[in-house]
Structure 1
Amino acid sequence: MSELDLPEFDRTQLHAIRVLRGGGAVVVTSPSPMTYGVVAREPSAINLLVGRPADQPVAVSVHSQAAHDQLFRYLDLRTDALAAVDLALAERIAVLAPIRSDPTMPEWLSPAIEDGWILFFDGVWSPLALLWLTFPFLYGSRAGEAPAASAAEAREQFPAGTVIIDADDRRTPSDVDGAGTVIRVDPAGRFTLHRSGTRDQLAGDGLLDRLRDFRSVIGVLDGSAPSPMGRTYLSTAVTEDGVPRQLVPGTRIRVEFARTPNKNAGGSRVYDVLRVHAGCNRMGAAVAAGELLTGGTLSVTGFGGTQRGCKPPLRAQEEWLQTFLTSKPSWQVDGDELTLTSGSTTITLLDKKIAEPDFPLDGIGWEVGATITNADLRHHRYHADPAWIRIDGEHLSGSTGCNELSGTVTRNNTELTFTDVTITDRTCTGETAEVQAEILATLGAAVTYTIDHNKLTLIAPSGIGLDLKADLDR
C-alpha cells in the first residue's frame, strides 16, 4: 500500500513526522478537554512558531520508556515522590520538578531546564500514536496562555502553511478552560499547584490530595531499605541446594525493574514493571505501583512476552526461571548486588553498569549489524560485506563494505555531527550498496547516539540509522 492509499488523517501524521525530522514544528491535539499545542524536535522551531525568543526554555514530552528513565535518573526527588510524578503524567498533567546538575545528564534535557527546574509531560494520545511513537521525546511550548481549542482556531492562530493535525472528530465536544495544568514538586516531595488549567484535568486541591496520598502510600510500600527499582541486573551466580547451577552456555539472566505511568484507560495509573531475559524470549510483568517488591518479596503471578521458538535448553531455562520468579522469592540489595532467594535456590545478580560497563565511543571499531528506518525498524542484510566505523577524537574512519570512509566528527552528551564525509570510488553492488547508502545517509548533523555496553546506535534526524557492535579486532 502506498502513502496515497492511506486515510487523510494518517497521511497528515506522516507529513508531520517528515516536518519534525526536518527541524520544523507541528500543531497536535490531545483528548478533550485539552487543547491543541505545538511540538518539535528543535526548541527554536516552537519559539519561532509561537513568536517567542529562540532560546526561551520549553517543555519536553518524555513519552518513551528510555526518555522517561533518563529524565527520572536526574530528578532530585525520592522514589515516593517519583511515583506520584508518574501518577501526574498518567493523568496528563505537566510537572515542574527539581533536577540535579550533573555533567553526565543528556544534552536533550537542557532546553526544558530553567534555574534548576525542568518542565515535562507525556503527550502520547493513541489516535496520534504514529507520530508520537516515532520519536523518543518531543519538545512542547511552556507558554501559559490558552492555545487553540479546535483545528479551526489553530488555523486562525498559526501562520498559513503550519502543519495542523485535525483530530476534532476524535475528541469529545466540550468547553476548554485554558492551558494545561502544571503541578510543582519540590525536593522535599511537597506538591503544589503551579498553574491552574483545563477544568476536567483534575486540577486544584483534588488532584493535589490524590498525589500526596499516593506518595504517602508508595513511601510505606517501598519502605526504607535500598530498592532495586529503576535498575537493571545481570546474574553472576545461581545455586540450588548449595550447588552451582549452570546456565545455558553464552547466556545470563537479565532482570530490570522500572516504574512507569499507565498510558491506557484501565488498570492502575502507575505500574511497577519487571522485565526478564534469559537468552531467548523477552518476558515481562506489571503490577500496581508499590506491590512488586512489598515486604521483601518479589510478587508477580505470571509473565507475558515474545513468543520466539527457543531451542529446548533455552526453553527449559526460561520455564525454570519463570517458576522461580513467580514463587515470591525474597530479595535483598547490598550496594550494587541483588540477591533473589526461593527455597534452596539463590540467584545473585550485579548492577548492569558494573557487570557490563559501557564501551567508550572512541578507539573502538564499530561494525554495522543492522540498518534502521523510521527510528526503530531494524533491517539485517546478511549478504552485505562487513562495514564499520571508528571514531578517534575528531577523526572518523571506516569502511562501507567496499569503500574506505573518512571524515570529521564533533559531539555533545547525546549527539554527533559528522562533516566532510568522503569515500573512495569503487562501485558497490547488492546489499553492500544498500548498506553504504544507509551509512552515508546516517553520518550527518545532529545524529543521536547511545551506547549500551558493546552496542552503539546512531539515529539521524531523518529516522535513518545504524545498529553497531564493538569489534575489538579493528
Structure 2
Amino acid sequence: MHTQRKTLSTVGAVSAVAALGLLTACGADKTSAGDAPAEPSVPVTGTHWTVDSVTAGGKKIDAPGTKAHVAFDKKGRATGNFGCNGFGGTASVKGDTITVDKIAKTEMSCGDEIDKLETTLTEALKGKLKASVKGDKLTLTTAKGDSITLTSEPPAELAGTKWLLKAVVEKEVATSLPESASKADKAHLIFDEKAGTVHGNLGCNEVNAKATVTDGKIELGTPRLTRKMCDGEVMKAEQNLAKLFGSTVTYEIDHRTLHLTGKDGLGLNAEAAAKK
C-alpha cells in the first residue's frame, strides 16, 4: 500500500490555462457590429476541462487516461492537475489572452511517461496564450505555436456511477488500497438512489446494504458481505471500509472524485469509472 501526504511547492509564474472572461466561440456566429460577441456553447468558468493532448515543437503527446485537467472559477482562480501532480494559481484575462501566475504544485514522480507529459504541459502553459472555444473544445495556443487541446467533461452523479475505491482515509491521511484490491476495478461501489441501496466489492468480498441519500449525507445500513478470505493487507483495508456501514456518512463529489467521511475521521476516496 502507498500512504502519502501531498505538499505544495511554489513554481515560477506559469501562464495559462483557460479563458476566464467572455471568450467568443471559435467559428461561432457573431452579432451585429456594436453588440456583444456570441457566448461559447460551453462556459469556460465553472467547467472541468480535461486535457486531450499537448503539442510542443511539432510533437504531440496524448493525455487520455491521465488526471490532466484544468478548472476555473469566477474569482480568478485556476486549479487542476498536470497528469499526476495537482496545481493551483491565480488567473487574469485580457480579451482572448490568458495568463495564470503564482502556481503551486505537488511534487511526485509518477513514471517516465507521465513525468514527460507534465514537463511538456508545464512548458506549454508558460507565457501568454490565445484561448478559443468551439463546441465542447477549448484550445490554448502559445506564441511559438505550441498548443493544448481540452474537452469539457460533466461531473459524475452519485447514483448509477461505478465508483472505484482508491483509498481509505484515517484522520486526513489517505492510504491507497492494495494493488490486488484495486486491480481490474475490483473494489467499487454503485449507489441505486431509487431502490435505496448500494452494492459492490470492498476489495475482497461482495457487499450489499441499504443506502438512503439526503442532502449531502448517506445513511448506510448494515453491510451484507460474502465470506472470502484474502491476504492480510486487503482484509485490513476491507475491514476499515466496512466500518463506514451501519452509520450516516457525509459525501462530497469533486467532479469525478467521491469522498465519504464517517465518524472519527474514517472515510474513503473513490473515482468515477470511465464510461464505456
Please indicate the TM-score interval, normalised by the length of the shorter structure. Answer: 0.5 to 0.7
SS of residue in 2 equivalent to 1:229 = coil
**8 Å Cα contact 2:90/2:101 also seen in 1:** no
* Greater strand fraction, Structure 1 or Structure 2: 2
Name the CA shift for 1:327/1:404 in 2 (closer, same or farther; >3 Å): closer
Mapping of residues 316-335 of structure 1, within 5 Å: 316-334=116-134
* Greater helix fraction, Structure 1 or Structure 2: 1
**In structure 1, how many angstroms separate the alpha carbons of the residues matched to 2:230 and 2:206?**
12
**8 Å Cα contact 2:163/2:270 also seen in 1:** yes
Residue among 129, 138, 150 paired with 1:349: 150
**In structure 2, how many angstroms separate the alpha carbons of the residues matched to 1:252 and 1:389?**
21
1:339 and 2:139 aligned: yes
SS of residue in 2 equivalent to 1:319 = helix
Q: By how many angstroms is 1:373 displaced?
A: 1.7
Question: What is the RMSD of the two structures over their aligned residues, measured on CA atoms?
Answer: 3.8
SS of residue in 2 equivalent to 1:370 = strand
Name the CA shift for 1:224/1:387 in 2 (closer, same or farther; >3 Å): closer
Amino acid of the structure 1 residue aligned with 2:86: R
Tell me the equivalent position of 1:256: 71
**In structure 2, how many angstroms separate the alpha carbons of the residues matched to 1:367 and 1:315?**
24
Structure 1: unaligned runs, 5 residues or longer: 1-78, 81-222, 261-271
Residue among 276, 290, 308 paired with 2:108: 308
Name the CA shift for 1:446/1:278 in 2 (closer, same or farther; >3 Å): same
**In structure 2, how many angstroms separate the alpha carbons of the residues matched to 1:301 and 1:367?**
34
Q: By how many angstroms is 1:346 displaced?
A: 3.2
Structure 2: unaligned runs, 5 residues or longer: 1-19, 22-36
Residue among 283, 286, 289 paired with 2:90: 286
Q: Percent identity?
A: 26
Residue among 259, 264, 270 paired with 1:457: 259
**8 Å Cα contact 1:330/1:342 also seen in 2:** yes
Residues matched between the structures, number? 232
Q: By how many angstroms is 1:337 displaced?
A: 3.4
TM-score of the pair, normalised by structure 2: 0.65
Name whichever of 320-329 and 401-410 sits farther off.
401-410
SS of residue in 1 equivalent to 2:100 = coil
Name the CA shift for 1:409/1:333 in 2 (closer, same or farther; >3 Å): same
Q: By how many angstroms is 1:328 displaced?
A: 0.6
**8 Å Cα contact 1:256/1:274 also seen in 2:** yes
**In structure 2, how many angstroms separate the alpha carbons of the residues matched to 1:311 and 1:381?**
19
1:299 and 2:95 aligned: no
**In structure 1, how many angstroms separate the alpha carbons of the residues matched to 2:162 and 2:49?**
27
Residue among 436, 440, 456 paired with 2:242: 440
- Please give the per-residue CA displacement for 1:410-453, whole angstroms capped at 9, x wherever unaligned: 11342221124333556776223322322222123432234456
**In structure 2, how many angstroms separate the alpha carbons of the residues matched to 1:463 and 1:279?**
28
Name the CA shift for 1:460/1:254 in 2 (closer, same or farther; >3 Å): same
Task: Flag the structure with larger Rg.
Answer: 1
**8 Å Cα contact 2:165/2:268 also seen in 1:** yes
Q: By how many angstroms is 1:233 displaced?
A: 1.0
Amino acid of the structure 2 residue aligned with 1:368: L
**In structure 1, how many angstroms separate the alpha carbons of the residues matched to 2:168 and 2:78?**
29
**In structure 2, how many angstroms separate the alpha carbons of the residues matched to 1:284 and 1:295?**
22
Tell me the equivalent position of 1:233: 49
- Please give the per-residue CA displacement for 1:55-101, whole angstroms capped at 9, x wherever unaligned: xxxxxxxxxxxxxxxxxxxxxxxx99xxxxxxxxxxxxxxxxxxxxx
Q: By how many angstroms is 1:339 displaced?
A: 2.6
SS of residue in 2 equivalent to 1:435 = helix
**In structure 1, how many angstroms separate the alpha carbons of the residues matched to 2:170 and 2:48?**
28
**In structure 1, how many angstroms separate the alpha carbons of the residues matched to 2:117 and 2:214?**
42
**In structure 1, how many angstroms separate the alpha carbons of the residues matched to 2:122 and 2:53?**
17
Amino acid of the structure 1 residue aligned with 2:176: H
Tell me the equivalent position of 1:92: none
Q: By how many angstroms is 1:387 displaced?
A: 4.0
Amino acid of the structure 1 residue aligned with 2:51: S
**In structure 1, how many angstroms separate the alpha carbons of the residues matched to 2:179 and 2:110?**
25
